Amino acid sequence: MSTVTQFVPRTRRNVELLLVLLACAIVMVAYLAVGLAVNGQVPLDLITQGAWLLGLTVAFHVVLRWRAAYADPLLLPIAALLNGLGLVMIHRLDLAKGTESAMASRQLMWSALGMVVACLVLVLLRDHRQLRRYTYTTMAAGLVFLLLPLVPFLGRSVYGARIWINIGPFSFQPGEIAKILLTIFFAGYLVQTRDALALVGRSVLGFPLPRGRDLGPILIAWIASLLVLVLERDLGSSLLFFGLFVAMLYVATERISWIAIGMLLFGGGAYLAYLLFDHVQQRVMFWLNPWSETALAQSDQLVRGLMGMGAGGILGTGLGSGHPYLTYFAESDFIIPSFAEELGLAGLFAILLLYALLVERGLRTALGTRDGFGKLLATGLSFSIALQVFVVVGGVTRVIPLTGLTTPFLSQGGSSLLANWTIVAILLRISDHARRPMPAPVKVTMPDSAPTPTTPRPAVKP
């Protein structure tokens, strides 16, 4: 006789704590290596800086034990390690620029704020399905955030791209927050309409095509991405925004025709933008002929980055022993070439492996969760990280044109850190729901006053 019992997964919180300690140890060793290479001595603030990172990540871990005990145990250590490595590289560039530069201190402040915001998300958001109630509210808020840099006296242009706003002494990039809000909207909208999008339509030459009225959402997303490209001159956000929507549309409907339509629309829009706008032509020229006299007369940023990566070779020059500061924006847009120069191709592959593992854990969360909204939301957030890393790495290695996006967790930038830590918090909340055991079935008992059924007696012949 067999007995059916419910499987109760382990929370793996102790594994997470060990990985968090290992991540902090790696960051402190990297910090020590930079100090020895640049100044020839152990950094005086090694213990202080290590205590900050250790305290923040352990506090985050305690919040997970309290509010999301079944959350994925790998997401926090990976994010903390990437964030810590970014802090080390920015500190290394600080040392190269002199005592007046304080980029690492600001980055540490934003890292702490990002973790605090992520903890608040975990505490306040008890169930990720609550976000579905605000599908159209998040759409409106996302569009407002996306277009906020166009407001006069609020937005400002930095090197041609109008993607920043000023709030007092701080500057903020609202597109990072818009990315999360629009992902929530896409997930909620596609859960409602995926049956019509997937099942209704005509087949042309064996290729299923959607109805004309069902093309509305993808046309709106295409027009909005073109507006971002034209008005804000932001090629990266435009590509990220449209690619995210098409990917989620494909995951929701499993129809390859949406991918084909999306590629045709984006290709046509990009070619039209190339014909009409100078800054797009400039990016394409840097991509195809970065060593030409015409390109070098305008910018040698990409060439400097490529030469730095080439100087790093397979194993790199060692942390603190290279010259990444010779490249413009080595702490933000070009932080990947900075790591490639000092850690080499092997170190760059290790960093990319961390990103691949982060995305894999997000997609595993999407597969494990039991509701369609959670699946789409986890897929969209994971894909946004993957697409952003591909766009950045592809841009600095000449696979695609440069876009100006930042590398998640590594690059300098407060708004980027806040957005990426929020994404990690939402993924942790969804993974807690996915891995948490189902509640035990409620036993139904008959009340004592209920009459007991009796077997009718057979009739007796007189």
Mean pLDDT, the chain, integer: 85
DSSP conformational letter for 201: E
In terms of average pLDDT, the best of 240-244, 280-284, 354-358 is: 354-358
Q: What is the pLDDT of residues 358-374, one digit of tens each?
A: 999 999 999 999 889 99
In whole angstroms, what is the distance from residue 341 CA to residue 323 CA? 8
Residue 457 has pLDDT above 60, yes or no: no
Query: Using alpha carbons only, how large is the chain's radius of gyration in Å?
Result: 26
Q: What is the pLDDT of residues 307-322, one digit of tens each?
A: 999 999 999 999 999 9
DSSP conformational letter for 149: G
Give backbone dihedrals phi and psi of 172, rounded to 5 degrees, phi first.
-140, 145
**Least confident stretch, 321-325, 327-331, 443-447:** 443-447
Q: What percent of the chain has pLDDT over 90?
A: 47
31 exposure class (CB count in 10 Å sphere: 0-12, 13-18, 19+): buried
Q: Which two tokens stand for residue 187?
A: 């997930």
Residue 112 has pLDDT above 90, yes or no: yes
Q: What pLDDT, on a 0 to 100 scale, did the predictor assign at position 461?
A: 47
Q: What is the pLDDT of residues 159-217, one digit of tens each?
A: 667 778 877 777 788 888 888 998 998 898 888 877 777 776 666 666 666 666 666 76
Q: Band the pLDDT of 380: cuts 50, 70, 90.
A: very high
pTM across the whole model? 0.90
In whole angstroms, what is the distance from residue 194 CA to residue 247 CA? 13
Q: Which two tokens stand for residue 6?
A: 């419910």
Max CA pair span of the chain? 120
In whole angstroms, what is the distance from residue 351 CA to residue 239 CA? 23
Mean pLDDT on 379-396: 94
In whole angstroms, what is the distance from residue 2 CA to residue 69 CA? 31
* Exposure on the CB side of residue 323, measured as CA atoms within 13 A: 9
Query: What are the CA-CA distances from residue 325 to residues 32, 321, 376, 416 (Å)?
Result: 19, 11, 40, 22
Question: CB neighbours of 78 closer than 8 A, spacing ≥ 6?
Answer: 23, 354, 357, 358, 361
First to last CA, the chain: 48
| Angle CA 455–458–459, to nearest 5 | 135
Mean pLDDT on 368-383: 92
Q: What is the pLDDT of residues 392-417, one digit of tens each?
A: 999 999 998 888 788 999 999 888 99
Query: How many CB atoms neighbour CB 85 within 10 A?
Result: 25
Q: Band the pLDDT of 333: cuts 50, 70, 90.
A: confident
DSSP conformational letter for 322: S
